[in-house]
């Protein structure tokens, strides 16, 4: 090999190395290269840290002793695991009775909201009737209006309903679970217009030919809804039901206003300090309320939702992917 051939070979090897390095760093179309992946993972880790930091902070500090709380040298690893914080939080929040009570209320209202949202969404998607567009816009407007605007009129309506049959025989309407359950049954529950919109968008994708074929075979509208529409709408049902559970579980303003009492764990958590002082009067040796006990109460109140997320994570993500919903 001559000198010129060696020089050409060296330049060719240099160009090949440049191409290989460029392919590794940038990829074939700028979305599969090393730099793109580093940027994506950096963003994901940053967002995960922002969202997980408060949860990790509560979890770690809920196991600290009083000495660890006031010691600036103890950050993420407590010197002693204090389980008494959770024992007292359990007593103050009245576990497990409060969990079962909250689940009974939330599941009841969430199921009602899911069923009626499917019915209303199917009606808007597959039927034509007078003032359909106007009613659809008014339905969406109920989500735009904040609940503080309508709370006075709602209370007047609920008080009037409490004096009518059959609610006068059931102990009234206000300050009972009927104040949240009945609106959910009638399609006007918490954020229910979004649920209706989800079902509406999904039912619009079902071919009309399929419905017409079922009608030719002698199926009525109710049978078409239960045998064709609902089985195909399982992804929407999963999303709506999970959203309803989370929203009704975390809602405190409307629940406290219309239902009252300690019907949910977040409402019990709002009265944590006063409830703690009743069980452990101030001045009792070793029973002083501290930040770790409060954080333990916060962790206990969100444990059921965390468990629900880990159990239904796969179904939830698959349902979002199948329905094309991008989140709130």
Q: What is the DSSP string of 64-101?
A: --HHHHH-TT-SSS-SS--THHHHHHHHHTTTTHHHHH
Report pLDDT for 9: 54
Report pLDDT for 328: 40
Structural domains in the chain plus CATH codes:
12-61 (no CATH), 87-323 (1.10.3720.10)
- List CB contacts of 36: < 8 A, sequence separation 6 or more: 26, 27, 30
Taking every pair of C-alpha atoms in the chain, what is the biggest distance, in angstroms? 107
Sign, CA dihedral 69-71-75-80, equals negative
pLDDT value at 121 more than 50: yes
Q: What integer best gives the mean pLDDT of the chain?
A: 85
Query: Stretch 116-122: mean pLDDT, rounded?
Result: 94
Alpha-carbon distances, residue 9 vs 17, 18, 20, 21, 143 (angstroms) = 12, 14, 16, 18, 70
20-24, 39-43, 187-191 — which is least confidently predicted?
Answer: 20-24
Please enumerate, as own/partner, the contacts of 155-160 that have beta carbons within 8 Å and a separation of 24 or more: 155/257, 155/258, 158/258
pLDDT value at 86 more than 90: yes
pLDDT value at 19 more than 90: no
Regarding pTM above 0.95, the answer is no
pLDDT value at 7 more than 70: no
pLDDT classification of 26: cutoffs 50, 70, 90: low
The helix or strand, by DSSP H or E, that contains position 306, with its residue range, turns out to be helix 291-323
Closest CA to 25 of 13, 11, 37: 37
List the Cα angle 298/302/305 in 5-degree steps. 175
- List CB contacts of 327: < 8 A, sequence separation 6 or more: 320
Count of beta carbons in the 10 Å neighbourhood of residue 60: 17
Q: What are the tens digits of pLDDT across the range 32-85?
A: 677 778 888 899 899 888 888 999 999 999 999 988 988 888 888 899 899 999
Closest CA to 181 of 238, 99, 110: 110
Q: What are the tens digits of pLDDT across the range 136-186?
A: 999 988 888 888 888 889 989 988 888 888 887 777 788 889 899 999 999
Report pLDDT for 143: 85
pLDDT value at 28 more than 70: no
List the Cα angle 118/120/121 in 5-degree steps. 65
Q: How far apart are CA 83 and CA 293, in angstroms?
A: 10
Secondary structure class of 293 (helix, strand, coil)? helix
pLDDT classification of 261: cutoffs 50, 70, 90: confident
Report pLDDT for 288: 84
pLDDT classification of 4: cutoffs 50, 70, 90: low
pLDDT classification of 326: cutoffs 50, 70, 90: very low
Report pLDDT for 200: 93
- Exposure b/e, 89-119, CB count within 10 A at least 16 = b: beebbebeebbebbbebbeebbebbbbbbbe
pLDDT value at 132 more than 50: yes
Count of beta carbons in the 10 Å neighbourhood of residue 270: 14
Closest CA to 316 of 204, 244, 247, 240: 240
Percentage of residues of the chain with pLDDT beyond 70: 87
Q: To 10 degrees, the CA torsion angle through 189, 180, 144, 236?
A: -30
pLDDT classification of 322: cutoffs 50, 70, 90: low
């Amino acid at each position: 090999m001559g000198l010129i051939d060696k020089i050409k070979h060296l330049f060719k090897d240099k160009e090949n190395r440049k191409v290989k390095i460029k392919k590794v760093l940038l990829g074939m179309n700028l979305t599969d290269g090393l730099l793109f992946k580093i940027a994506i993972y950096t963003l994901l880790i940053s967002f995960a840290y922002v969202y997980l930091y408060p949860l990790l902070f509560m979890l770690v500090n809920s196991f600290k002793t009083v000495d660890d709380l006031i010691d600036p040298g103890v950050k993420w690893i407590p010197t002693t695991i204090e389980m008494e914080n959770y024992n007292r939080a359990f007593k103050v929040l009245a576990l497990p009775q409060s969990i079962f009570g909250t689940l009974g209320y939330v599941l009841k209202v969430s199921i009602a909201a899911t069923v009626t949202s499917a019915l209303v969404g199917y009606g808007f998607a597959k039927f034509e009737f007078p003032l359909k567009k106007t009613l659809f816009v008014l339905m969406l407007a109920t989500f735009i209006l904040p609940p503080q605007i309508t709370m006075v009129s709602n209370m007047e309506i609920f008080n009037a309903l409490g004096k009518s049959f059959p609610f006068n025989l059931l102990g009234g309407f206000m300050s009972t679970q009927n104040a949240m359950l009945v609106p959910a049954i009638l399609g006007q529950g918490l954020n229910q217009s979004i649920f209706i919109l989800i079902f509406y968008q999904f039912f619009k994708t079902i071919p009309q030919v399929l419905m017409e074929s079922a009608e030719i075979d002698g199926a009525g509208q109710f049978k078409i809804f239960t045998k064709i529409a609902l089985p195909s709408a399982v992804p929407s049902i999963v999303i709506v039901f999970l959203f309803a559970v989370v929203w009704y579980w975390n809602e405190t303003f409307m629940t406290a206003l219309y239902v009252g009492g300690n019907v949910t764990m977040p409402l019990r958590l709002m009265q944590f300090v006063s409830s703690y002082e009743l069980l452990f009067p101030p001045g009792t040796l070793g029973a002083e309320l501290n930040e770790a006990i409060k954080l333990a109460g916060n962790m206990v109140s969100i444990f059921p939702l965390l468990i629900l997320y880990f159990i239904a994570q796969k179904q939830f993500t698959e349902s979002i992917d199948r329905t094309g919903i991008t989140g709130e």
